[in-house]
Structure 1
Amino acid sequence: MSPTIIDAMRSGGLFRTLQPRRYGGSEAGVTEFFDSQIEIAAADMSTGWLFGVMGVLAFHLALFPAEAQSDVWDANPDALMASSYMQTGKAIAVAGGYELSGRWRFASGADYADWFMLGARVERDGVTEPVIFLVPRDDVTILPTWRAAGLRGTGSQDLAIERCFVPAHRIHGIKERFLGMSPGLEVNRGPLYRIPLPQMLLRVVSVPAIGALRSGLTALIDHNAIRTDIAGQRVAANPEVQFTVGDVAADVDAMLAVLHHGVGQLSAAAAEGRDLPLQTRMILRLQASRTADRCCHLMHRIFVAAGASGLTSDAPFGRLLADIQASRQHAANQFQPFAQSLGASLLGVETEDSLL
C-alpha cells in the first residue's frame, strides 16, 4: 500500500473510528464502522482490508489494562497497530512480565505499524492459556514475505521476535475476554466495548468482500451496457448475463441485511448490558464467516459473464476475483468448523468454544 494512502487514512481519523473518546477517538457505532469498510473496499479491497484489520485493533486495545492503553496512546493518539493472533509465540514468565520470542505470519499493514498484537500461550495460575501480547515496533523484525496473488496491497508480512521483555500489563487473556472480564472495561465503560471481540474480528476479514463484489457488479453492468458478442448480439440481452446481474444484486443486498441485523443484535445487547445466548453468537459468527465464500462464488460468476474482453488488465474483474479469493483463504473465513460447532450445540452435544 502506498504510504500516501496510509497517511491520508490516518490524518482523516479513519483508524480512530473505534478508539475510545477519552483518547480523542470517535468511539463510533459498529454499523458505521463496517459500512465505512464496505465503501472503502468497493474502491480498493486491500485498502478496505487495512482499514478494518488495523482499525479494529483500537477496539482491542481498549480491552487491555489502562496502563497498556496509556503506553500506546499517551505518546501518540494516532498510533497504528498490526496483529497476528496466531498462537505461535513462546513466552516465559520473568520478573515483572514475560520474555517473548517467536515468528508470526500474516500481519497486515506491518510496514506502517507502531505497535503489534501477537499471540502466544502462557502459564497463569497453573493453567496454560492463549493470550495476546502488545509489543512496540522496535522489538519486532518485519520480514518482507508478502508475495500474494490477491490482496497484494495489504502487506501482510511475517514478523519475528527474539527474546523481548513484555511487562505484565501488556497482555490480554482470551479467557478473560470470553468471560466479559477484560480489564479495559474498568475505564472504557461505553457499550461499544461490551461487544464480543471475536464478532468484530470475524467481520473485518469478511466484510471487505462485500464491497469488492459490489464493485464487480457495477463494473459488469458498465462493461456489458454496450458490448456485443461474436454474433453481434447485445450482451445485455443475454438471459444468462441478465440472470447473473439480478442474482448477484439480490445476494449483495441480502448479505448487507444479514450484516446489519447481526451487528444490530450485538449492539443492542451491549447497550442493554446483557449477553447474547451462546447459540445466537454461534449463528452470528457463522453468518460472518460464510460471507467471503459466498462472495467468491458470486464474483466468479461475474468474471465469467464479463467474457474474454474482461480479461484485459484494464478491467477490474481478475483483480477483484483474486482479492476476494485471497480473503476466502483467511483462517477466520473457513466456516465449516463454525457450522459444525453450531450444529453440535443445537443437537445437544457439549463443546468447548471460546471464539465467540
Structure 2
Amino acid sequence: ALKGMVDQFVEISRNRLSGRGDKVAEDPAVSLAVAQALITVEDVKSAMHRSFATLYDWIEKGNLAHWQTRRQYRFQGSYGPKRCADAASELYRVFGGSVIFADFPFGRQLNDILAVRSHFTNHYQLHANTWVGDLMGLQVKGMPV
C-alpha cells in the first residue's frame, strides 16, 4: 500500500507547483519523504522475506524451538505497518493542504495503511514486551509468538 502511495505521489507531484509557484519536485522535504518511504518499503519487505525464509527452513527441518528469534520476527512483522504508517503520514503532510481534496487518492491510502497498523496482530508494543521480556528472563505473557 505504501509503495502504491509513493508511486501515485511521484506521478502527481512530478509536474506540480506548490501554492507559492515552486516546483514540488525541487522541495527538499518532498525528496526526503519520498526517499524515506521507499527505503521503508524495501526494509520491511527485506526483513519479512528473510524471516520467512528462515521460518520455512526450520519447518522443513522440523525444528521450531527458536523461541527468541520467532518473537523477534513477530515484532518485526508487527512493527513494519507502524513504520509504513509513519512514512505515509509524512507523504500526506508534505503534499500540502490540497491533499484533503477528493481529486487526490492520498486520504484513502493513508486510512488503509492506518487500518493495517491498527489490526490487533500488529500490536507492536505487545510483541516488543514479549520478545524483550524473554531476552531479560521474564515470564512471558500475552501472545507467545
Deviations 1:126-158 (CA, angstroms, capped at 9, x unpaired) = xxxxxxxxxxxxxxxxxxxxxxxxxxxxxxxxx
Aligned-pair identity in percent equals 27
1:255–1:291 CA contact under 8 A, matched in 2: yes
Q: Please state whether the residue corresponding to 2:104 is helix, strand or coil.
A: coil
- Residue 283 of structure 1 is aligned with which of 66, 72, 96? 72
- The residue number in structure 2 matching 1:95 is none
Question: Does 2:34 match 1:245?
Answer: yes
* Greater CA drift, 273-282 or 251-260: 273-282
Question: Which residue in 2 is equivalent to 1:260?
Answer: 49
- 2:88 maps to 1:299: yes
Q: TM-score, normalised by structure 2?
A: 0.93
- 8 A contact 1:266–1:276 mirrored in 2: no
User: Using the alignment, how far apart are the partners of 1:341 and 1:292 within structure 2?
Assistant: 18
Q: Aligned AA for 2:62?
A: G
Which residue of structure 2 aligns with residue 328 of structure 1? Answer: 117
Contact 1:223 1:306 in 2 (8 A): no
Which one-letter code corresponds to 1:286 in the other structure? F
Could you tell me which residue of structure 1 aligns to residue 24 of structure 2?
235
**Equivalent pair of 2:130/2:143 in contact (CA under 8 Å):** no
Residues in 2 aligned to 1:229 and 1:338: alpha-carbon distance in whole angstroms: 41
**Cα drift, residue 322 of structure 1:** 0.9
Conserved in 1, the CA contact under 8 Å of 2:133 and 2:139?
A: yes
The alignment partner of 2:18 has SS state of coil
- Aligned partner of 1:220 in structure 2 is 9
1:249 and 1:286 map into 2 onto residues whose CA distance is 21
Query: Could you say which structure has the higher helix fraction?
Result: 2
C-alpha distance after superposition, 1:167-209 (max 9, x if no partner): xxxxxxxxxxxxxxxxxxxxxxxxxxxxxxxxxxxxxxxxxxx
Distance across 2 between alignment mates of 1:286 and 1:350: 17
Larger Rg: 1
TM-score for the superposition, normalised by structure 1:
0.39
Which structure has the higher relative contact order (CA within 8 Å, separation 6+)?
2
Residue ranges of structure 1 left out of the alignment (5+ in a row) = 1-211
Using the alignment, how far apart are the partners of 1:305 and 1:270 within structure 2?
Answer: 44
Distance 1:323 1:354 in 2: 25
Contact 2:81 / 2:117 at 8 angstroms: preserved in 1?
yes
How far apart are the structure 2 equivalents of 1:236 and 1:323? 26
Partner of 1:271: 60
- Runs of 4 or more above 6 Å deviation: none
User: What residue ranges of structure 2 are gaps of 5+ in the alignment?
Assistant: none
Instruction: Kindly provide the amino acid, as one letter, of the partner of residue 39 in structure 2.
Output: A
